[in-house]
Chain A
Amino acid sequence: MSAPTKGSGTTWVGRAIRRLEDPALVTGQGRFTADLPAAHWVRFVRSSVAVGKITNIAAPEGAHVITAADLKGVKRIRPMLHKFNYIPVEQPILAEDVVRFVGEPVAAVVAMSEEEAEDIADQIEVEIAETKPLVDARDAIAKGATLVHAQVPINVIVEGKVRTPDFDATWKGAHKIIKVDARSRRQNATPMEARAGHAIYEASTGRVTFTCTTQMPHLMRTAIADVLGFPESDLRVIAPDVGGGFGQKMSLAPEYVVLVWLARKFKSSFAWTEDRRENLIAGFHSRDQHVTLEGAFDKNAKLVALNADILANIGAYSCFPTTCGVEPLMAMAEMPGPYDVRQYACLSRGVITNTCPMAPYRGVSRPVITFVLERLMDKAAAAFGIDPIEIRRRNLIDKFPYTSAMGLVFDEATYKQTMEMAVEHIGLPAFRVRQKEARAKGRHLGIGFATFSERTGYGSPAFAARGMEITPGWETVILSIDPSGFVEARIGSSPHGQGLRTTLAQIIADELGITPQLIKVIHGDTDRAPYGWGTFASRSLVISGGATLIAARKVRAKLIKIASHMLEAAPEDIVLEDGAAKVAGTDRSISIAKMAREAYHQTHRFKGEIEPGITETGTYDPPGTFSNACHVAIVDVDVETGRVAVEKFLVAEDAGLIINPMIADGQVHGGIAQGIGNALLEEIIYDSDGGILTATLADYLPPTAHEIPPIELHHIETHTSASITKAKGLGEGGTIGAPAAVINAINDALSPFGVSIDEMPATPQRIRAALRAAGEAA
């Protein structure tokens, strides 16, 4: 990896300080859900067939087994959208009379240990009258296809359509039409820690504490209490240390409902730790899309209209709370990406099949749409006989704010600048020379660019536009100083590895004139943290960070007020630094600790002019801000075997003000690793009977350190007016740009063969098949 980006040094914000959360994590002191002891362990019996009617469930004598019949009065999970012809489908907590995908939970076995539960689960016989499944989205929308849910005609559960007024006329007048027919195969987010839950009943209060590995503790509380029909106040949800989520841990797992139900019913503790096979089969999937994209260009290679047809395979049920609209509708809204194009037509459909339900995965649809759009740009460049950089120069947005054909408002960004920066640092002319020399020796190097926008930190209006019944967006932070002078921020967001405790502490430290190490950030406990939406959609630093700044400014104002009272000085003359309030230009000062004591224990001195205590709340619900970047991959394609090695990766990124450069770089590095996996390796494969062929990590292949090249990062910091901290989100960008850059690089390497690789992952076998079909003559 290249040297970490350094910060400025005069403020805490902008400095690459070490993560406050790491000492515990790297010394084995982290505490995860599976660390909790439990009286009972649960193992789920899952359907081994994709679709059919359950005719019998036979359990061994004396086994404690829960099936749908036991869950009387428990509601089904019912995610809801109020737009886009969405048809609600309900998911039973345990399969009722039919199963709809391999891995669907059919029964829960309760035993005294995990081993015993698995032994018993092994002996349970589920008889299912199997029928023919639908696995591929194209088959599911074919005429005469069977229906996965009777109420969903032609298996289309959500459908977005758009056609700008002048689309048809512009299309007719276009100079060239370029088409990409792309396929993105199915993926699993593979967090290091698979799912896990632990529910314990507390006899003294009648409450249940449910610890689980989630990105959204408050939403889990709402969802589980709703489904089971009891007050939310009787449920405490805790997200302890969480070993990654990447979106997979946003959605409600039906398994979690069973655990809380068991704890309430049997007044004891019940735990479940998902194993990797369950996670790969049933822990939500993503990115299974067919996209056909056509671009109409004028004679100067300026894009004038885009026409997209998107089919997203959303699996057998819709996920809660986002609904399965998240992939097809995001694809529709953001397909035009960073390019200026006024005319746009799109048909985007979410298709139900007999496969594992889809849920958001880091980047959601954008890795797919960026791949397709960037293929379109490269193909168009080739058709016009111009450089891939030149065609982007002619089409990237460069006036702000820019309102897209879909009505999205793009704030200040640097699409062209980051691309030029990337071109300069990668040394494009020198690479072309090296490429030519290598080709003469039979080695096929390629370079690929991806320019993209990353919509981040968007509040409730953006989600409302999607018609979500549960409309996320805002965040609340409660910031207080206790009588001993220590600072605690309680946040509704719920980090799971990103370092938010550190970055929020940096923001607070600058406002209050203290060091970040003195600040505790409390999250992931519905009894202690204010209601919030958790962590997803590159939102936490922007939204929770904004709420933190608002709260910190209020606390700052209060401290100044107290100091001015205690030091008998004008508020304008007071500065907060080094843990104290000082009167500028004098040696008079008072420590925050002293002020805190006063604010709690000597309030009579305030004579009613200052309220007791130091606790302030900040809430933030911003419109959203677009980060941007240009990714460059250099690859070496072995044409005899089809293997692709990524030799180098470079990023020029603009995510606004960078609060902690080390953490920002880490986010980009991790995202790129996943993006390279997406482009080359990772694929969930179903057979035609709906069985999964990639149910272990020997078959589903996340990249290892060996497959990840050195990554060089460059930043531009555009201080946007769309975010009060001036920070933009960057949690997803790595995954968004990397696949497109890698695939474009492969195609550049293979350009002498006249092939086009438009499928992800670009596996060695697929590359060889394309070369063989092209006759391989280079």
Chain B
Amino acid sequence: MKPAPFIHHVPKTIEEALAILAEVAPQDGRVLAGGQSLVPIMAFRMARPAHLVDINEVKGLDKLAVEGGKLVIGARVRHAAFHKNVVDGPLGKLLTYVVRHIAHYPIRMRGTFCGSLAHADPASEWCLVAATLGGEIIAKSKRGERVIAAANFFEGIMSTSLAEDELLAEARLPLLPADAKFGFYEFNRRAGDFAMAAALVTYRVAGGKIADARVGVGGAEDRPRRIPEAEAALNGKAAGDEAFRAAAEAAAKAVDPLEDVQTSGEYRRDLVRAVVRRALEHSA
């Protein structure tokens, strides 16, 4: 469990980082952020990058601010930044609630929000947040900058539309309206483990009826995504057990479940049903 040899680059500016990345990307050069996913994978030699472009000393990447109705999260912002409220209103509360489900305290002190998105574990809480809320990813390279919608970003298990020479410079999450409700629930076998299924829901209640429902499911399929069938079961209904159960059932039906020895497709659907209903109950 010792990584294969690699060259460690420590750029100080974003330009420098992008230049090195452009040069080393073709030789399996990779960005190193918090290292909480990459380093274990290297220790197992499942990844053998010849170069690591360590962004921990790059200036400007620690931005965490509201700009133009969006929360901007720079590539050096650690999970632990969200232990306290970073923005007033429901979004800040949602993030402080969700962050406690990510791994364990020491890992949250190192791992980054953007690193989670780039790593794209199907069970990642932040990926679920980005997919459900309609976040944006700002990708920068020597070639320029582009904005990728979360819905187009996650492509499969640990696979994204980020090009190998691109740095995920920041992520943006739209603020939630002041009257938005949110609910989150995840299932795992031990505290701190990756979720075997997780659900994040947000909606508003207008005239006694649910509106603008978003139901995101993570950990159940090869990527987190919104489940339109579940959202349809909620919009226009009174918030309550009946609608919640219908939405949970719809989600359980809609997913194309990942299977492994510990989790049959049937069992994963059971979990999706449970987490969606419980996320909705949590919201109420």
Contacts and interface: CB of A to CB of B under 8 A. Distances in A.
Interface of A: 114-115, 118-119, 122, 275-277, 638, 640-643, 681, 685, 687, 693, 696, 698, 701, 703-704, 706-707, 763-765, 768-769, 772
Nearest to B4: A119
Interface of B: 1-5, 44-45, 187, 189-194, 261-264, 266-267, 270-271, 273-274
Contacts of A638: 274
Contact of B262 (A706, A765, A772): A765
B2 A118 contact: yes
Contacts of A119: 4-5
Given A122-B4, A765-B267, A706 B191 contact: yes
A681 B190 CA distance: 9
B190 A707 contact: yes
Chain B: interface secondary structure? loop
Contacts of A696: 44
B189 A277 contact: no
Contact of A115 (B2, B44, B191): B2
A688 B88 CA distance: 53
Contact of A640 (B2, B193, B273): B273
B189 A768 contact: no
Contacts of A698: 193-194
Contacts of B3: 115
B68 to A, nearest CB: 39
A282 to B, nearest CB: 14
A698 B263 CA distance: 15
Given A641-B274, A698-B193, A764-B189, A275 B1 contact: yes
Contacts of B194: 698
12 contacts: A115-B3, A118-B2, A119-B4, A276-B1, A641-B274, A681-B190, A698-B193, A706-B190, A706-B191, A763-B262, A764-B267, A769-B267
A698 B196 CA distance: 12
Nearest to B196: A764
A391 B199 CA distance: 46
Instruction: Report the 6 A-B pairs with minimum CB-CB distance, sorted nearest first.
Output: A706-B191, A275-B1, A640-B274, A115-B2, A765-B267, A118-B2
A693 B5 CA distance: 27
A698 B192 CA distance: 10
Contact of A277 (B44, B263, B274): B44
Given A640-B273, A641-B271, A703 B1 contact: no
Contacts of B263: 765
B1 A641 contact: no
Given A115-B2, A693-B261, A704 B191 contact: yes
A703 B191 CA distance: 9
A646 to B, nearest CB: 12
A22 to B, nearest CB: 23
B49 to A, nearest CB: 15
A703 B266 CA distance: 26
B190 A704 contact: yes
A237 to B, nearest CB: 26
A765 B260 CA distance: 11
Given A115-B3, A640-B274, 5 more contacts: A114-B2, A115-B2, A641-B271, A701-B189, A706-B191
A704 B192 contact: yes
A643 B263 CA distance: 13
Nearest to A685: B261
A707 B189 CA distance: 9
Given A275-B1, A768-B270, A641 B190 contact: no
Given A276-B1, A641-B270, A703 B193 contact: no
